[in-house]
Amino acid sequence: MENQNNIVIIGGGFAGVELAERLLDSGTDAHVILIDKNNYNFFPPLLYQVATGFLDVSNISYPFRKHFSSKKGFSFIMGSLEEIMPDGKKIILNCGDVFYSKLIIATGTVTNYFGNVNIMDNALPMKTITDAINLKNKILERLEKASRTSDAELRAKLTTFVIAGGGPTGVEIAGMLSELRKNILFRDYPELKNIAFDIYLIDGLPTVLAPMSKESQKYAQQSLEKSGVIVKLGQVVKDYADGVVHLADGTSIASENLIWTAGVTAQTFEGIPEDCYGKGNRLAVDSFSQVIGINDIYAIGDTCIMTSDPAFPNGHPQLAQVAIQQAELLAKNLVAQEKKKDKKPFIYKDKGSMAIIKRNRAVADLPGPFKHFSGFFAWLIWIFVHLMSLINVRNKITTFFNWLNSYITRDQPLRMIIDPSKK
């Protein structure tokens, strides 16, 4: 595409979709091009429910072309970014070249294995739709295998789950697996009635949900432990080989299931100088989200680090709300620049954070006089916020009815092994 008046957005997550929508609704003269390696948007906070068979993929994903079908001045390209050429204002994709007037990088993060090849090759990540489907298949395949083996040691390894990472994703997976064990496992697999089905949650920090309040951390840990989850804090997974999880203190856990939620990192891009990156490979940007030192290239969301916000001198937390707010302001600033008006610097408005633990149990840290909630009320807040955050009405309705069915029946009939790699 050789039209020079292209606003090109790389990445169709929270930040990319929000920016595209805001620009298209603003009446900008530019042509908006969204590029993503998938042809759909998905909702990462609910990936763990797909992975544990409580939601279908279609509940949390939606095609870009369908979502933007009524918008004029929009194009979608399914492709992967290979190189950026700032001097020629061109990007090279695996499917062709695109010229831009403004380039916005909103690629989010990828799983960080901290250089451990064994963990990268053998652990089960939880970052994409493919990861979630693969994790669900692996869980079900291993339960099937455990149900028919007479080898007690193998059965124990197949039914022991180790979750590395005590952030929201790790806590939510641990809680959902405990629900699976309590309400579904022994009904579906009567052959496994006498097994332990151990669930471990491991984190190198001294607490779970480290970014949240002490009240939320304490409540989450106590709730998990009451559900039978074995919480091991101040421990780091050092290696994983031959079905054994090795911890830094020299102890080990025999398990065929290491679920990796222990870290993320931003991506680097050919054509962007090394000195443009900050901690965690995040692109260093100014208060207007422009990559420092490069004209007309911007970065928003998890892939950037902004230190100009007085309340966040070390950069903002990698949360959906940061990405959405940055996208909203960048759209306004790009339109203002087009109209030769003043731009506004980004100031993050913290709307709080929350995490679900299990049925009727969640934690929420919110701004205002009543800062901390836990239990059933926090669970209702979590349900409402996540429903409203889904990309369209269809996804909101189908997810709501799936949750309602699951709540009433304490079950969900989505435990099918569907693996396209098998013939």
Which of 165, 166, 197 minimizes the C-alpha distance to 183?
A: 197
Tokens of 348: 């993050």
How far is it, in rounded angstroms, from Cα 7 to Cα 91?
A: 12
How far is it, in rounded angstroms, from Cα 373 to Cα 352?
A: 11
DSSP class of residue 93 equals E
Tokens of 30: 């530019």
Name, in order, each residue with C-beta under 8 angstroms of 189's C-beta and a sequence gap of 6 or more: 143, 146, 147
Q: Is the dihedral of CA 221, 125, 15, 106 positive or negative?
A: positive
Give the torsion through C-alpha atoms of 372, 378, 383, 386, to 10 deg.
10
- Catalytic residue list contains 225: no
Contacts by residues 331-339 (CB-CB < 8 Å, ≥ 24 positions apart): 331/18, 331/19, 331/22, 331/23, 331/26, 332/22, 332/26, 333/288, 333/289, 334/7, 334/23, 334/28, 334/30, 334/102, 335/23, 335/26, 335/27, 335/28, 338/28, 338/29, 338/30
Which of 242, 247, 301, 277 minimizes the C-alpha distance to 13?
A: 301
CA distances from 397 to 37, 118, 161, 247, 359 (A): 27, 41, 32, 43, 20
How far is it, in rounded angstroms, from Cα 93 to Cα 78?
A: 9
User: Is residue 229 exposed (0-12), middle (13-18) or buried (19+ Cβ within 10 Å)?
Assistant: buried
Q: Is the dihedral of CA 41, 43, 44, 46 positive or negative?
A: negative
From 82, 141, 153, 172, active-site residue: 172
Stated as kind and residue range, the H or E segment containing 132 is helix 129-148
Q: Rounded to 5 degrees, what angle do the CA atoms 46, 112, 271 make?
A: 110
Tokens of 294: 């490069």
Tokens of 208: 């779970």
How far is it, in rounded angstroms, from Cα 65 to Cα 4?
A: 23
Q: So which residues are the catalytic ones?
A: 172
